[in-house]
Homo-oligomer: A and B are copies of this chain.
Amino acid sequence: MPFRDECGVFGICPQTEASRQTYLGLYALQHRGQEAAGICSGDATGLHLHKALGYVADVFSEAVLDSLPGDAAIGHTRYSTTGGNVASAAHPFLIHGRFGQVALCHNGNLTNTETLRAALIADGHTFTSPSDSEVLLALINRAQADTLEDAVVSALRQAEGAYSLLVLTEHTLIAARDPRGFRPLAMGHMNGTTVFSSETCAFDLVGAAYIRDVAPGEMVVVPRDGSPLRSVFPLPKVQPKPCVFEHIYFARPDSLVYGKSVMVARREMGRLLALRHPVEADLIVPVPDSGVSAALGYSEQSGIPFDFGIIRNHYVGRTFIEPKQNIRSFGVKVKLNPVRHLLAGKRVVLVDDSIVRGTTSKKIVQMVREAGAKEVHMRIACPPTTHSCFYGIDTPKRQHLIASYMSLKEIEGFVEADSLGYLDLKDLEACMGDDGQGYCYACFTGDYPVVPEPKA
């Protein structure tokens, strides 16, 4: 139950009913953002955009999809980080400029947004929102370039940080990924159609086959006329650093991310966790849903039985009205309910994917203990998260990350666990099949592959 990711992207070209296929793709990527959704579709006669706050199923109706014709489309699901009227920050963004109509959506955060934005403003450009997508579009539009493709390359050369982006014009669909490859972007195909998605679970729903990832630093151009797609690597080559948290928490377990099974990785994390932090116990209980695979791995390795000692209510929506005179906390209870008759008298190992502020973990431990557990041992399927992310994950400021200011023992005390164990970084690397160079572990180490601009 940790950080929240900021987006899922999906694109398709060429394909009849491109917007309906994109709707399917977004449906499968709903877990990557529930605040807003949008699709831009079109063909040589022009682009069409619809985006709004809400779930994919609520934002799009038959009538809306009918108003999005064309044989190519890009779409986006968004988790917003700011309050208020965020409708203006929903993706995709569509501009009319020197290359005609150009739409863009992306997953990830630029780390030099303010610098670029200030320069663009000084140069006479204007923005309608704080989104870094608008910055990317402005860079494209103002590039010293004659073709859109060259303009996109020019923009990518100026942008720093994390982006897996899709660009739609009247002639082309372009996909690109930053040189570090911070955020995922998979490529698939179906009968002459190329598809892109943050995760492969969207391919499964539209019926496409996964081919490979768009590589870090790669730009793939899909012409609308069906001619072969082109791949270029216009940026200086650097060591890729894809985000490891996709496998720890974000991605759907049925997805391949970076070509690697999320579910298999999680199970292995649980297995190694059991090896390093064994404990005598009666029951392995996952914090649902994100701790399930690791808990299965822990159970497998330890031989201690696994069961759903905590049940998640999947009907929980946005609104929940608490009693006015209430003194109990509903924050966790509305979503999670301990299974009293399963936990009573047991020594329980709670497996979760991560700890952020520690307050939720504390409530869960209390809840399990009140349900009758004799002992509650907490096992976390990743190392202590000590640093904020600047590459597209909505983390709190560093000072709010409990592991940044408390020792293991102190955290153990704070969450009131009988014992606490985190996965070692080395073991995490092993689970990912990594030699220590292949992923971004900055939230555990503070070793940032790209230094962010100082905050104003």
Contacts and interface: CB of A to CB of B under 8 A. Distances in A.
Interface of A: 16-17, 20-21, 23-24, 27-28, 30-31, 34, 48-50, 55-58, 60-62, 65, 67, 84-85, 88, 93-98, 121-130, 137-138, 141-142, 201, 204-205, 207, 252-254, 256, 261, 263-264, 267, 289, 292-293, 296, 300, 305-308, 311, 313-325, 328, 333-334, 337-342
A128 B128 contact: yes
B323 A94 contact: no
Contact of A30 (B293, B306, B315): B315
Given A317-B57, A337-B201, A94 B261 contact: no
B121 A324 contact: no
15 contacts: A17-B324, A67-B85, A96-B126, A96-B127, A96-B128, A96-B130, A97-B127, A124-B125, A125-B125, A204-B338, A254-B340, A261-B341, A264-B342, A292-B308, A293-B308
Nearest to A300: B305
Q: Considering residues A97, A137, A261, A315, which has the most beta carbons from chain B within 10 angstroms of its beta carbon? A: A315
A189 B61 CA distance: 42
A321 B97 contact: no
Contacts of A204: 333, 337-338, 340
A57 B321 CA distance: 8
A300 B254 CA distance: 23
A308 B266 CA distance: 12
Contacts of A313: 27-28, 30
Given A60-B321, A300-B305, A334 B205 contact: yes
A33 B185 CA distance: 39
A321 B125 contact: no
B27 A334 contact: yes
A314 B320 CA distance: 18
A415 to B, nearest CB: 21
Given A17-B325, A205-B334, A254 B27 contact: no
Contacts of A17: 323-325
A38 to B, nearest CB: 12
Given A57-B319, A98-B121, A308-B293, A16 B207 contact: no
Nearest to A311: B254
Contact of A267 (B307, B317, B318): B307
Contacts of A142: 124
Given A57-B315, A61-B319, A128-B128, 8 more contacts: A21-B323, A24-B323, A27-B315, A27-B320, A30-B313, A94-B128, A126-B141, A261-B342
Nearest to A256: B341
Contact of A97 (B61, B94, B97, B126): B126
**A-B complex: 5 closest residue pairs judged by Cβ atoms:** A97-B126, A95-B126, A254-B311, A30-B315, A57-B317
A128 B142 CA distance: 15
Given A253-B339, A308-B263, A339-B253, A20 B126 contact: no
A256 B371 CA distance: 14
A334 to B, nearest CB: 7
B62 A321 contact: yes
Contacts of A339: 253-254, 261, 263
